[in-house]
Amino acid sequence: MSEPAEGSPATPPARETPGEERHAGRGGGGGFWHALRELVIVVVAALVISALVRTFLLQAFWVPSGSMEQTLVRGDRILVWKPGVEPSRGDVVVFRDPNQWLADPVAPTGVAGVLNQIGTFVGILPSSSGDDLVKRVIGVGGDTVECCDADGRIVRNGESLDEPYLYPGDRTDQIRFSVTVPQGRLFMMGDHRSDSADSRYHLEEQDGTVPVENVVGTAEVIMWPVSRWATLPDYNGTDGGDAG
């Protein structure tokens, strides 16, 4: 028996059949579509979770004015806690416009408008619908709130308030009033009193008070810009300004 020539294989290499080649091709394509499907599932799940968090737990809002300076300044992005909100004196809260306090907002249109609505819905972008306001709770149901004592301070239930959060050098006696807050309602004021069209400017409607059910949540954190990052303490105004 003759030996195979040097350099020649002893056994010819097996050849793939056409059927085997087609099967291998289908496997490669299936891997791509499987990975794409998993990616879509992950993205959709993340968006659903984000929307649920926005609806029931936390929501971001954009501060469009200077009515809460220096506590909040124009352009701040704040994070609002929503579950079980029971507004207390001194809380900074976001609430829905109770009675045309705000002018009708000018919403973005076209592609930008659609993207803004989607981003706001899933919580990627802060709400800037123009239907929400941010103020501080000065009086709750049963409180009598008055302006002002001899030093220009707000008086609540006969006691002058210490308000260290007020805009430096600002006065708080632009409008004289005496209001007893109905149960289930709140009396709201901005920290920058001379630049805040708050409850004082709407006394003709329910003494300027806001229904508790209009409260979206309490502002907890300034999350943007980074240089402004801070948690927001609240003050009851009668204990020297300590958080309460």
What Cα–Cα distance (Å) separates residue 145 from each residue in 54, 69, 105, 121, 200?
A: 34, 22, 31, 37, 11
Positive or negative torsion for Cα 73, 79, 85, 86: negative
Report the run of H or E that residue 136 belongs to, with start and end.
strand 132-139
Task: HSE, CB side, 13 Å, CA atoms: give it for residue 4.
Answer: 7
Q: Domain map of the chain by residue range? A: 57-231
- Can you give the pLDDT at residue 59? 87
**What is the CB-side half-sphere exposure of residue 88 using CA atoms within 13 A?**
8
Given 65, 127, 128, 135, which residue is catalytic? 135
Which mean pLDDT values do the consecutive 10-residue runs of the chain (244 residues) have?
Answer: 52 52 52 79 66 67 92 94 86 91 59 54 49 94 96 95 94 93 97 95 95 94 93 66 34
Catalytic residue at 88?
A: no
| Residue 67 bears catalytic tag | yes
SS3 80: strand
Q: For residue 51, what pLDDT is reported?
A: 61
| DSSP 3-state of 32 | helix
| Contact (CB, 8 A) for 137 and 186 | yes
The CATH number for 57-231, chosen from 2.10.109.10, 3.40.50.2000, 3.30.360.10, 3.40.630.10, is: 2.10.109.10
Catalytic residue among 65, 67, 127, 128: 67
Take residue 202 and report the two structure tokens written for it: 């709407």
